[in-house]
Structure 1
Amino acid sequence: MNRPPASRFDQELLDLYDDYAHSRIGRRDFLDRAAKFAAGGLTAAALLEILSPNYAWATQIPKDDARLKTETAEYDSPKGAGKMKGYLAKPAATTGKRPGIIVVHENRGLNPYIEDVVRRVAVEGYVAFGPDALTPLGGYPGDDEKGKDLQAKRKPEEITEDFVAAAQWLAKHPDCNGKIGVVGFCFGGGMANTLAVRLPEIVVAAVPFYGRQPVAADVPKIKAALLLHYAGLDTRINEGWPAYEAALKQAGVKYEAFTYPNVNHGFHNDTTPRYDEASAKLAWSRTVEFFKKTLG
């Protein structure tokens, strides 16, 4: 089945799926409330399946791409889970040290979409690392619904420490020159903002895609340049943007922000109907240009 466009679905149903994807409602509640949109032989369960990630749609850079070297890497997170793992990708023809970029997954662990984004970053010439917050629970389980449930079982403050440790580890990696960028999506977008706050001496550039904003009191700690991507229909996340922008201006933080009209939260994720090809490609081209400008 080809990926259906978001325009095929009622916006109320897409918003309902967003509530389900972020655990604000459970599966049964989603199915009950989605029943009114079931028509043409489709059940509520079928609608959920169509709206959920399909990783057959996700691969842009093959796992065996000859331009890259990839591996599972381990690192220490003494203030978090202790031992952590992630997906490391770098150009196969590495000569000299390169900037590093942390890729932060959504609220469901290091799934195939995020692994593909790690490879997309690496083919641009960076040492890219995608930590898996589900490492202490066995890693991404191969199913997003299970992954979402597992991530919800971890303490948020420990997950934060795991990503802080990942950035510190990557900065000291033998192939890295110590300059670190961060790009994250959904939960990962909020984490990209958090790492800019927590690691001003390491994080040079951060790109949150539809991520929660830090509290205003923390914004002056940011030394990184920011590129912020928001989805026009994402009222839940966008409500925090005016206060964040005011704080960024007051603190003199260098930033660019783009809101993509008429697209949903998750518009960059090419495994679901919420994906918007034009906006995703534009946002990604801006991201690559931004990293080349800020990291080299």
Structure 2
Amino acid sequence: MIQTEKISYQDPKKGKTFEGYMCWDDAVDGKRPGVLVSHTFKGQSDFEIGKAQDMAALGYVGFALDMYGVGKRATTPEQADALMKPFLDDRALLLNNILLAFDTLKNHPQVDPSQCGGIGFCFGGKCMLDLARSGVDINGVVSFHGIYDQPGLNHQGDIKASVLVLHGWDDPLAKPDSTVALGNELTERKADWQILAFGHTGHAFTNPAAKFPEIGMLYQEASNRRAWQAMVNFFEEIFEVIKQK
């Protein structure tokens, strides 16, 4: 049975509290790989908790993390923009908060800390890419319709994580030139990387609630299904696990 545990964790430097959801299948014995699930610009929601539960069903521990802090969630795009803006202005803050979540995942008793990964959607995809860029020792990260601009933090050395980018070719927030620039960046930093682009697909293609074709944000069932399968294959390879029953 899938277990879902509410987890409170703190930033000891700033005294701020965050609240995430750790999910695992109690039918699986022993420690297992852990996977962060990073939210969109609206903050943690049932969408990300559901994805963490989906990861648990695949045999991992899924952690629907919290970038903003307890109770900071948006219900409108304007609220979401206001919550996200400090992190766009200060990418060191973004990295700090994603690292707090990563440490929380690694320290959970169900998780093998030597086998960890992460997935993120939209703003969460940016978070996953910034985590990989930092050079932290994480096995692999996946960006679903993320944003690709570099953080400007002068990271040095090779990217240790394998990187999978799942991209809508018509995404108005990540145009082809930014996608090519990301590939060049990952190549220069010797990452093991893949970019899979889906034709006739815009931003937010994994979210059934995305119904705004006039601004290039629309759920695309086929692209969503193919992207999820690509992610499943990616983690099976890097964690060297067999498919769960």
TM normalised by structure 2 equals: 0.84
Please say if 1:75 is aligned against 2:12: no
1:249-268 correspondence runs (5 A): 249-268=187-206
Pick from 49, 53, 62: which aligns with 1:115? 49
Q: 1:211/1:149 Cα in 2 relative to 1: closer, same or farther (>3 Å)?
A: closer
- The amino acid that maps onto 2:119 is V
SS at match of 1:114: helix
Shift of 1:183: 0.4
How many Å separate the matches in 2 of 1:97 and 1:119?
17
- The amino acid that maps onto 1:127 is V
Stretch deviating more after TM superposition (149-158 or 173-182):
149-158
How many Å separate the matches in 2 of 1:94 and 1:80?
36
Pick from 227, 234, 238: which aligns with 1:290? 234
Spell out, residue by residue over 1:75-118, the C-alpha distance to the aligned partner (whole angstroms, 9 max, x if none): 22234563211111111223100110000001010112122111
Task: Check whether the contact 1:103–1:129 (CA below 8 A) recurs between aligned residues.
Answer: yes
Residue in 1 that maps onto 2:27: 93
Please say if 1:197 is aligned against 2:151: no
Pick from 165, 168, 172: which aligns with 1:228? 165
Spell out, residue by residue over 1:259-281, the C-alpha distance to the aligned partner (whole angstroms, 9 max, x if none): 10011111011222311001100
Of structures 1 and 2, the one with the larger relative CO (CA 8 A, separation 6+) is 1
Residue in 1 that maps onto 2:65: 131
Residue in 1 that maps onto 2:83: 151
How many Å separate the matches in 2 of 1:283 and 1:81?
37
Q: How many residues align?
A: 227
How many Å separate the matches in 2 of 1:219 and 1:182?
21
TM normalised by structure 1 equals: 0.70
Spell out, residue by residue over 1:1-52, the C-alpha distance to the aligned partner (whole angstroms, 9 max, x if none): xxxxxxxxxxxxxxxxxxxxxxxxxxxxxxxxxxxxxxxxxxxxxxxxxxxx
Shift of 1:150: 5.2
Shift of 1:228: 0.7
Task: Check whether the contact 2:23–2:61 (CA below 8 A) recurs between aligned residues.
Answer: yes
Question: Is the radius of gyration larger for structure 1 or structure 2?
Answer: 1
- The amino acid that maps onto 1:70 is T
Task: Check whether the contact 1:133–1:162 (CA below 8 A) recurs between aligned residues.
Answer: yes
Alpha-carbon RMSD across the aligned residues, in angstroms, is 2.2
- Structure 1 residue ranges without an equivalent (≥5): 1-66
Please say if 1:180 is aligned against 2:113: no
Task: Check whether the contact 2:33–2:116 (CA below 8 A) recurs between aligned residues.
Answer: yes
Shift of 1:219: 7.3
Q: 1:80/1:205 Cα in 2 relative to 1: closer, same or farther (>3 Å)?
A: farther
How many Å separate the matches in 2 of 1:213 and 1:149?
17
Q: 1:81/1:180 Cα in 2 relative to 1: closer, same or farther (>3 Å)?
A: farther
Residue in 1 that maps onto 2:214: none
Residue in 2 that maps onto 1:60: none
Q: 1:71/1:140 Cα in 2 relative to 1: closer, same or farther (>3 Å)?
A: farther
How many Å separate the matches in 2 of 1:144 and 1:122?
30
Stretch deviating more after TM superposition (232-241 or 256-265):
232-241
Shift of 1:214: 5.2
Shift of 1:222: 1.2
Task: Check whether the contact 2:120–2:127 (CA below 8 A) recurs between aligned residues.
Answer: yes
Q: 1:158/1:248 Cα in 2 relative to 1: closer, same or farther (>3 Å)?
A: closer
Task: Check whether the contact 1:230–1:260 (CA below 8 A) recurs between aligned residues.
Answer: yes
Residue in 2 that maps onto 1:102: 36
Task: Check whether the contact 1:132–1:140 (CA below 8 A) recurs between aligned residues.
Answer: no
SS at match of 2:174: helix
- Structure 2 residue ranges without an equivalent (≥5): 212-217
- The amino acid that maps onto 1:148 is A
Q: 1:278/1:125 Cα in 2 relative to 1: closer, same or farther (>3 Å)?
A: same
Which has more helix, going by share of residues?
1
Residue in 2 that maps onto 1:168: 103
Task: Check whether the contact 1:70–1:90 (CA below 8 A) recurs between aligned residues.
Answer: yes
Spell out, residue by residue over 1:152-201, the C-alpha distance to the aligned partner (whole angstroms, 9 max, x if none): 46554434312111101211211111121010011101100011122522
